[in-house]
Every structure is written in C-alpha cells, then in structure tokens.
C-alpha cells in the first residue's frame, strides 16, 4: 500500500484536519500522480456537511485534481512518468451500460465510482479525493493536461470547467446565442469564459452587485444585479440558455420567465432543498427546464484541449492545506475570486 497525507472531515460537524491513509499499489492499468493542486468545489462543502445526505466519513474531499505522473503500471499506454495528469469527479464506472458506452460515464447506470465519498468497485473500499499529496487512478479515468497554462489555473477545469462546458455543447451554443449565467462563483465564472469563447452574448445574473466589474473583465456583455428587481421586466423572453449555478435555494420561476420560446434553463447548482415550479413558467413559451452533471472523460478531454487552445484557465486564490477551513467559510459567504485551489505540496 502507498502511505498518503491529506486532510479529512471526520464527521459532519467537524472541521477538516490532517489525515494519513493508504492508497492501493499501482496496478497494471494505474498511474500514480504526485498532486500539485486541488480546487475547492462547493460540492466538497455540501458533502463534507452532509447536505445531500449520503456522506461517508472520514471524508477526504477534492475532485479538481492535477499533478505529475511518477509511476505507471505495466499495461499503461496513454501516460508516462513526468506527464501532467488530471482527475475529475469519478475514477471508474461500470464501462458496459449504454451511457458508459456513449462516453457519458457521469450518467453510468451501474456503479460509478466517485473520486471521494464513494466506494471502489469491490463495494467496500472507500475512495479518498484530492485534498492529499498522491493519488492512484486507472489511466482510462485520467486526463491529459497541457502544461501551457499554470497548473493551479487548470485544476478547477476538472469540475467547474467541464460542468459548464458540457451543457454549452449539449445545447449547441454558438455565435450570437444569448446565454445567461446565474451566480458568479466557481462554476459561474468558468461558464462566462467558455460561453464567451464559443461566441455567445453573455449576461451575468448575480445577487452580488460588487461583481459587475469582474463579470465584464471575464467577458460578459451584460450584468444584472438580481436583488430587488423584477428580472423579467429587464429581460423578457430573451435567453436561449440559462446556466443556473447557484448553490443555495432560490426561486426558479423568476428566471424561467426570461427564457425565450423553446429556450432552456439548466440546473447545475445543487441546493439540498427542493423548489416549486409554476406550470405557467414553462407552458406559456414551451420552455424547457433541465439538469446536467459534470461530463464524461472524452468530453472532459475535449474541454481541456479547448481551454489550452483558447488559453482559458480559472481565476484562482492558491492556499495552503491549513487554510482549507477558512476557505470553506469564505466560499459559503461568496468571498472568493473565483476558486480556492490548494497547493498539494503543503499536505
Ligand atoms: P460557488 O463558487 O460557491 O458559487 C455559487 C454562487 O451562487 C455564488 O458565487 C453566488 O453567486 C451564488 N449564490 C450563493 N448563495 C446564494 C444565495 N443565497 N442567493 C443567491 N445566489 C447565491 O459554488 P460552485 O463551486 O460554483 O458550485 C455551485 C453549485 O453547483 C453547488 O451547489 C455545487 O454543488 C454545484 N455543482 C454541480 C455540479 C454538477 O455537475 N451539476 C458540479 C459542480 C458543482 P453571486 O454572488 O454572483 O450571486
Ligand atoms: Zn465539483
Ligand atoms: Zn455504466
């Protein structure tokens, strides 16, 4: 076994503290990655606090992972020692269901193995994520990373990047399409950069008026402060697509009214509470309400290559391991521009 250092939440009410644990030896198809950076996704906070009700403790969160390959198994063909590799939200899947066969392993109908808060295919070994100094992953669930951009800026692409790229591609966003981005956080700021790069006319809908300058710097054409206004009076039947990245409960009907006929609002944010939809929000303009989960390995690679070509990375604040708990508190307050990334050499 390989001895690893990381940070874990021991229970739903505890802060994260140093944690030593073991990972499996490098198998024939595995690569060992010495981690450089791991982003802090709001999903890490939801899960460490058991917001979604399925948490396994101790929990080592982290699914926005980049590092350097230091060992490869005998049958590994896609990576060699010294390569930069990435790991996202899952590290294995059934590989045989229709969704896996269509390269959409995120929607695996069998056993999708999460990078953390999950169990391996043996049904019992817990998985531990990227808040650590090393990880062992099957090469088929690892991503190739260009070293063109600095790696701290790439780490958040492994979740925030693919989660916003995938729906933009699925709904075929292109030149001149009107895209609304609801919530300017980790996911939201990547949504803006990616939609702008695809040629869309982008509007940020934010409850933080102080983010307007940043929104415009990121490339947004318009910024609307959503507090205390009736948004449908500003944008009526306007958007082709809204990406909703808000992590807390909010009224979807307000925003649905801004979607044009046959347009779509996609839920990416995952507040634990359910929400009420008025039928009229949808039927009056044949609107669609959808959800989308991260992206498959093939599409994640496509997104990484797209970002390398367009020079797109995340805006990050790099922190040491000891600052993880402060970073959680600041993220919950919306006080991050726009992703905390842990320097994994500090574990
Ligand atoms: P984040 O960085 O904390 O950003 C969330 C944004 O939501 C905030 O910046 C804020 O934007 C807005 N917001 C927060 N509290 C709000 C409130 N009370 N009222 C209105 N707006 C509020 O989080 P993130 O990492 O981007 O993740 C966002 C959500 O997506 C989380 O729920 C996460 O679990 C989920 N997620 C889903 C997937 C998926 O596959 N679908 C993948 C990753 C994450 P403004 O200040 O601009 O309003
Ligand atoms: Zn995430
Ligand atoms: Zn499957």
What's the confidence (pLDDT) of residue 147? Answer: 80
Task: Kindly report the length of the chain.
Answer: 347
Contact 219, 211 (CB under 8 A): no
Q: Where, residue-wise, is CATH 3.90.180.10 in the chain? A: 2-159+314-346
Contact 128, 116 (CB under 8 A): yes
* CATH hierarchy code of domain 161-291: 3.40.50.720
**Residues with a CB atom less than 6 Å from ligand 1:** 41-43, 46, 159-160, 163, 183-188, 206-208, 211, 245-248, 250, 268-270, 292-294, 331, 334
pLDDT in tens, 9-35: 999 999 999 999 999 999 999 999 999
290 Cβ contact partners less than 8 Å away, ≥ 6 residues apart: 167, 264, 265, 266, 267
Q: How sure is the predictor about 287, in pLDDT bands with cuts at 50, 70 and 90?
A: very high
Task: Indicate the helix (H) or strand (E) that contains 255.
Answer: helix 252-256
Q: Where, residue-wise, is CATH 3.40.50.720 in the chain? A: 161-291
- Report CA(275)–ligand 1 centroid distance (Å): 16
Q: How sure is the predictor about 123, in pLDDT bands with cuts at 50, 70 and 90?
A: very high
271 Cβ contact partners less than 8 Å away, ≥ 6 residues apart: 246, 247, 248, 249, 250
Q: How sure is the predictor about 233, in pLDDT bands with cuts at 50, 70 and 90?
A: confident
Q: Which atom of ligand 1 is nearest to the CA of 332?
A: 3
Question: Across residues 197-203, what is the average pLDDT?
Answer: 98
Q: Which residue among 247, 271, 299 has the greatest number of ligand 1 atoms within 8 angstroms of its CB, and so is best to mutate? A: 247
Question: Across residues 247-254, what is the average pLDDT?
Answer: 96
Q: How sure is the predictor about 256, in pLDDT bands with cuts at 50, 70 and 90?
A: very high
Fold of 2-159+314-346: Quinone Oxidoreductase; Chain A, domain 1 (3.90.180)
> In the 8-state DSSP scheme, what is residue 346?
G
- Distance, CA of 24 to CA of 313 (rounded, Å): 32
């Amino acid at each position: 076994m390989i001895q690893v250092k990381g940070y874990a939440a021991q229970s739903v009410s505890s802060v994260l503290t140093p944690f030593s644990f073991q990972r499996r030896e490098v198998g024939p198809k595995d690569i060992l990655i010495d981690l450089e950076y791991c982003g802090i996704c709001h999903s890490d906070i939801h899960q460490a606090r058991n917001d979604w009700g399925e948490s396994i403790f101790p929990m080592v969160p982290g699914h926005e992972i980049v590092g350097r390959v230091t060992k490869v198994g005998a049958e590994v063909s896609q990576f060699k020692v010294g390569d930069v590799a990435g790991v996202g939200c899952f590290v294995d899947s059934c590989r045989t269901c229709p969704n896996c066969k269509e390269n959409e392993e995120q929607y695996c109908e069998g056993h999708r193995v999460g990078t953390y808060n999950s169990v391996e295919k043996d049904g019992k070994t817990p998985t531990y994520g990227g808040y650590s100094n090393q990880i062992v992953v099957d090469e088929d669930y690892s991503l190739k990373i260009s070293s063109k951009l600095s790696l701290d800026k790439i780490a958040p692409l492994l979740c925030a990047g693919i989660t916003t790229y995938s729906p933009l591609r699925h709904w075929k966003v292109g030149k001149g399409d009107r895209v609304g981005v609801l919530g300017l956080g980790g996911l939201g700021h990547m949504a803006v950069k990616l939609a702008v790069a695809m040629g869309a006319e982008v509007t940020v809908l934010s409850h933080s008026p102080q983010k307007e300058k940043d929104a415009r710097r990121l490339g947004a054409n318009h910024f609307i402060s959503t507090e205390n206004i009736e948004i449908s009076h500003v944008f009526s039947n306007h958007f082709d697509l809204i990406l909703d990245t808000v992590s807390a409960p909010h009224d979807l009907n307000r925003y649905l009214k801004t979607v044009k006929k046959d347009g779509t609002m996609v839920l990416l944010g995952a507040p634990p509470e359910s929400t009420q939809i008025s039928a009229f929000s949808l039927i009056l303009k044949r609107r669609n309400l959808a959800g989308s989960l991260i992206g498959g390995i093939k599409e994640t690679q496509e997104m990484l290559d797209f970002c390398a070509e367009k020079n797109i990375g995340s805006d990050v604040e790099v922190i040491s391991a000891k600052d993880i708990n402060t970073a959680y508190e600041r993220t919950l307050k919306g006080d991050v521009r726009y992703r905390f990334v842990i320097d994994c050499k500090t574990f």
